[in-house]
A and B are shown apart, each in its own frame.
Chain A
Amino acid sequence: GESVGLHLPTLSVQEGDNSIINCAYSNSASDYFIWYKQESGKGPQFIIDIRSNMDKRQGQRVTVLLNKTVKHLSLQIAATQPGDSAVYFCAEGGSYIPTFGRGTSLIVHP
């Protein structure tokens, strides 16, 4: 069956460092992927998305990379700030209802 999973449950970084959060997916037919950020006590917030016809997409301080060969995507956060501390979910979407991975907790140390 389809699954979307994350490699590491917790990632600790120092303020100012770059963060990389990884995600694997198993459905090779997936055509759309989303990253969400969920701060404590809040609902998931859309960060960035990428379609399968792209390898890379950049936003403000964030970049998503998609490697369809190995069915892997990553979220890179540049110059990580304390406000980036949250749980990050990748989700496989498109025409399907998104399937969410387990989540990675990003902890930013000042």
Chain B
Amino acid sequence: SAVISQKPSRDICQRGTSLTIQCQVDSQVTMMFWYRQQPGQSLTLIATANQGSEATYESGFVIDKFPISRPNLTFSTLTVSNMSPEDSSIYLCSVRPGSYEQYFGPGTRLTVT
């Protein structure tokens, strides 16, 4: 298993600003993912962030809007840039330590005003 922490747990931000979310894992993992979960909705994959390579973004998500860093095997950041109210959501970090099981962090609840 893996224990994941995220910072901040929640934030309220002004339109046009940027927020960087941190994800820390208690063990070294290669595969890390960032998801978005809008209120009352399911999880949508933003990007896959494997250490040692550029992040791979899903359709509808671009690096300029959601830049990701993955400096080592236990840490990653996701930045939500130039925020608008439509970016209000829960952002979740997730890892896959093995072949199948996937674990999630507690999420960062973002509100953009």
Residues of A within 8 A of B (CB): 32, 34, 36, 41-46, 49, 89, 93-94, 97-98, 100-103
- Interface SS, B side: strand
Is the beta-carbon distance between B106 and A100 smaller than 8 angstroms?
no
A70 to chain B minimum Cβ distance, whole angstroms, is 22
Bound-state Cα–Cα, A47 to B28, Å: 22
5 more contacts with CB within 8 A, not counting A43-B92, A45-B104, are A41-B107, A42-B107, A44-B104, A89-B43, A98-B102
When A100-B43, A101-B42 are in contact, do A43 and B105 touch as well, CB less than 8 Å? yes
Query: In whole Å, how far is B90's beta carbon from the nearest beta carbon of chain A?
Result: 8
A36, A94, A102, A103: the one contacting B100 at CB < 8 Å is: A94
Chain B residues with CB below 8 A from A32, complex form: 100
Q: Judge whether B42 and A103 touch: CB under 8 Å.
A: yes
Residues of B contacting A45 in the complex (Cβ-Cβ under 8 angstroms): 104
Pick the 10 closest A-B CB pairs, nearest first: A43-B104, A100-B43, A100-B42, A44-B104, A43-B107, A43-B106, A102-B42, A43-B105, A43-B92, A103-B42
- A49-B101, A97-B48 known; A42-B106 Cβ under 8 A: yes
- Return A65 CB to nearest CB of chain B, in Å: 19
Q: Is B33 an interface residue (CB 8 A)?
A: yes
